[in-house]
A and B are shown apart, each in its own frame.
Chain A
Amino acid sequence: MSESVKATIDSDSTGNVPGAPATRVIKRHTLATRLWHWTNLVCLIVLLMSGLQIFNAHPALYWGEQSDFANPFIAIHARTAEDGERMGVVRIAGQAFDTTGVLGLSDDNGQLRERAFPRWATLPGDKWLTMGRNWHFLAAWIFVPLVVAYLLYTLLVPQRRRALFPTWVQLKNIPRTLLDHARLRFHHEADYNGIQKLTYLLVLFGLLPVMILSGLTMAPSVNAAWPWLTELFGGRQSARTFHFLCATALIGFFIVHIALVLVSGVFNNLRSMVSGRYRIQVEAHDGSEPRHD
């Protein structure tokens, strides 16, 4: 496998438009990274949607070891309003929100029915806990070993560490990079910028491990084997709540990720994750960020 950020002058980079900044095409992502990325996409969609199916079996979250049924932290249900109409309600820490049509009460084959997450968001679409669990565990058995392998690969291979851990200069440039992002000015360089690196590190070494470890504590057998793991989260119901909140954070990451892919050159970005080739500007925008290739 060739190094991910090693620049190789590409023949088609000679076709630069006169006057436009000089560009060239580099090999940005290794085959391993690309395969992992797209496998993750499929796994995460299956995990999310089957997870919502499982959540629907008891659509309430609590803190601590057990369920305080009268006082959930978050609950999604349907109730009858004063005017006799059925409505969907999400309750978060005692506050109620009307979510009719999407959460709590939604269209299910032409009829409004009580279900926490709507039909289009769950796998399978029907209320079917066992099949939701089956899909969840199948995807988890593919996803988790690959995450563990990728994290080790990232920690152990020096050029992977360089590609993901920010330099001091990049950290210092974060306010400037933020400002550039706000103005939709994107710099296409071989290296990730400071924000990208911190975000990927947070997801890779923060969200994903918490997601996986809290998921493991859902299993009574794992609780018996590693009781400290459940205690780390403050109890089994807290772990379930963390599992849900991390999934929500991952959706947030997903939305921002897609938005930035779209606005910062969707063709170039997609190509870099399909064939590995990525077009960069030859000269750094202001010379302040050092090159690492």
Chain B
Amino acid sequence: MTDSNTRLSTSPAPDRARRRLLGGLCALGAGTFLTGCDRLSESAPVRAALSNVEQLSYKAQRLIASRQALAKEFDESQIAPVFRPNGTTNPQEDYYRAWVENGFADWRLTIDGLVEEPMTLSLLALREMASRTQITRHDCVEGWSCIGQWTGVPLADLLDRVRPADTARFVVFHCADHTYGGSDLYYESLDMIEAYHPQTLLAYDLNGEPLPVANGAPIRLRAERQLGYKQAKYVMRVELVESFKQLHGGKGGYWEDRGYDWWAGI
């Protein structure tokens, strides 16, 4: 601020004044455009149009990426030394602290909702199922990427065991953490195509070690054709639903309720 005061005390040369005027006019023009767009960002019809764009991206990507198209898998040498944790990194809920203390021995995963045979599984039972290991790149919505090796149970195998009802359209992942210590639990959801994708896992190992707390212990979702915010950590319950209406903000995810696109393939 002191800088601008000293600048004012020296009288500007005439062409500097003119330059400043021109600059001011440009800024005014840009400012008007900006205020216009900022105001548009708040209006309901514009928001509706923007959500149509999300549908367009969703359908276009479904068209070009076949159901089975696999995300690229990498070499062991490319694994990042530290897998960057994001969002909640150390849940403080009492029940969660208790699970950590006894190594998740009495933690249970529930799979229910629109299924013929709801199930409850211990971490050991999950580890005894057939597993898949993949080295993939995690792409955060913010723009950074990190490569890690994940081992877990393909979600498709679990779905085969609980047998979803014909009415089930989405798989919802309920998490243990209140994001940023707020009042809302984290949750996410996938459509059935992404849920049955061969690389979609409930992962319990990262880089060959049990999943650290910072990265979502004891299990987290890996949906490799989606952005980072879909990769729900601290998953405790998998629920099959027909729509998101009854869940939290009704948009199918914690960040979706806060304006993010439900389709996180872009």
- Closest Cβ neighbor of B35 among chain A residues: A125
A130 lies within 8 A of chain B by Cβ: yes
| Interface size classification for chain A | 35 or more
| Bound form: Cα–Cα A225–B65 in Å | 4
Bound Cα distance A123, B3 (Å): 28
Q: Tell me if A's interface is mostly helix, strand, loop or mixed.
A: helix
The answer to the question of B98 belonging to the interface, with a C-beta cut-off of 8 Å to chain A, is: no
**Which residue from B3, B27, B50, B72 sits with its C-beta under 8 Å from A138?**
B50
Q: How far is the CB of A132 from chain B (nearest CB, A)?
A: 9
Would B140 and A58 count as touching, CB distance under 8 A?
yes
Residues A57 and B225 in contact, CB atoms below 8 Å apart:
no
Asked if residues A120 and B72 are in contact (CB atoms below 8 Å), the reply is: no
Q: Are B38 and A220 in contact (CB under 8 A)?
A: no
Interface residues on B, range: 35 or more
Interchain nearest-CB distance for A142 vs B (Å): 10
Cross-interface CB contact of B261 among A69, A133, A226, A230, cutoff 8 Å:
A133
Contact across chains for A224 and B80 when beta carbons are under 8 A apart: no
Please determine whether A221 and B265 come into contact, CB atoms closer than 8 angstroms. Answer: yes
Provide a sorted-by-A list of 28 A–B residue pairs whose CB atoms are within 8 angstroms: A49-B37, A57-B142, A58-B142, A62-B144, A66-B144, A67-B146, A69-B84, A120-B34, A123-B34, A123-B37, A125-B34, A129-B142, A130-B261, A131-B259, A134-B53, A134-B261, A135-B41, A137-B50, A141-B56, A219-B266, A220-B226, A220-B266, A221-B61, A222-B65, A224-B65, A224-B72, A236-B139, A237-B144
Which 4 pairs across A and B sit closest by C-beta, in order of nearness? A221-B265, A225-B65, A58-B143, A58-B142
- A-binding residues in B (CB < 8 A): 3, 27, 30-31, 33-34, 37-38, 41, 49-50, 53-54, 56-57, 61, 64-66, 69-72, 74, 78, 80, 84, 137, 139-147, 224-227, 258-261, 264-266
